Structure 1
Amino acid sequence: MPTERHQSPDAETVARVVRESQRDGAVVTCLAACEVEYDGRSGGYLGPGDRLVVCKPDGTLLVHRPSGHKPVNWMPSGATIKVEVDDDYDEDGESESPLLYARRSNPNEYLRVYLHEPYQLTRFDADDPVEYQERGTEAEMHEYIERNPEDALGSGIRIVEHERETKYGFVDFFARDDEGRPVVVEVKRRQATLNNFDQLKRYVGLYRESNPDVRGMLVAPSASDRVKRALRDDGMEFVRLAEFDVETREASEKTLSDFL
């Protein structure tokens, strides 16, 4: 649970919470109306809007818009995060908008977040020592194909060699079908691309020099219609491994309303 939460915090509270959290290794989140400036290897400006700002104890600063999984602005780990409070006061005797900024010296760059209206500020003393273990890696796909060649690639397919070396690199699988024809198999963890098609085409071309009946298979969780058409036009095949598909559409991602 959050160890500290403030509704509509003033500038001094924002400065204190960020300072203490950086010192103590805590995460800070702030829902705020803000604008953002970046200076460094390039320059950038993001006008006023409602956003989620995250400060991590390793110096990472993230600014998220209401949609999309990627931050619209960010500073990677290793930055120094601070808050500046203007000495001027408004007509109610309160400090003006706090300036949250992150700076790195190598390369020299700044990310400035002007918190015009902080709606909610939270400090969270997170404890997360567990190492992430990815499932559905390309190595697991290889293992699955090697154990279940007919289920994965089609009836009558027999694996001859795993990772066969060629002058263009390593073919993931060299196999034969039930008619004895060579089958060149290239496996991709993510959605198949035209670059993957070109790679498979080079491999298959090596074997077609001596045997025009060589089959080529591009294996992946998914592929665009353009990639499938390119494969068909070149006499090769796309094989979908649906069990390794990962949903990545932004339509399913959280928005600011989920946090509120």
Structure 2
Amino acid sequence: MPEGDTVFRAAERLRTGLAGKTLTRSDFRVPRYATVDLVGDLVEEVASYGKHLFIRTDRVSVHTHLKMEGVWRVFHRGQRWTKPPVTARLVLANDEVEAVGFSLGKVQVLARADEHTVIDHLGPDLLGPNWDPAEALRRLTAHPRRAVGLALLDQRNLAGIGNIYRSEICFLRRVHPTTPIGEIPDLPALVDEAHRVLGKAAHQPPWRPMVYARTRRPCPRCGTAIASQPLGEDDPGDRVSQRERGIYFCPRCQPRP
């Protein structure tokens, strides 16, 4: 699943192509919004919050979430799309570019005043201008017995981390992912690490994983074979793959609690 850094960079690309320009085409390929027409609207700004992306016009906010397979691409007018047209769920264009959202997990058109309703439950945005580490700590410590690998993935604690970065953050702090939040000796340092890692991934891509998806390959610190195990919520309806739920760690650098 795309993580906060991916959404942050998507917002940057869309901002460059759309912000300050008037839409000459809008095509919502989602039944609920099929009749929505934003032609003539001025795109005022594009912003992200965690894994959520907002394209704000002078009238509405278009909210999208990539979920598992979604991606935003920006094409110069007349340029051939690089993904099958049948997977396009939203097209927004001006005289210069077409912004196409392929396989988007969620598309909503909201009144600007209602935009907050989709993010009010989230923790602080790790890549946002108002990042608040104290609030992130408050939310994490509210459940001291919860495994850190689960707590980091919970967007209600801090917004933007997915499966890749929860593995990387735990590795960098030498914390086993099943360690309860209340047993981590320096939780503020772990929160700061999360902010640093996601910021570097967003502003200095690409991030090269040290442990994620590197099962049985040598640990970059000690050479021990990287291990992995499923670590997801106990939800029988969860259809996310074991690779997506799995977390990666060094058995030597990150001893079990």
User: Is TM (by shorter chain) over 0.5?
Assistant: no
The TM-score normalised by the length of structure 1 is 0.26
Q: Where is the strand percentage greater, Structure 1 or Structure 2?
A: 1
Q: Where is the helix percentage greater, Structure 1 or Structure 2?
A: 2
Rg: which structure is higher?
A: 1
The TM-score normalised by the length of structure 2 is 0.26
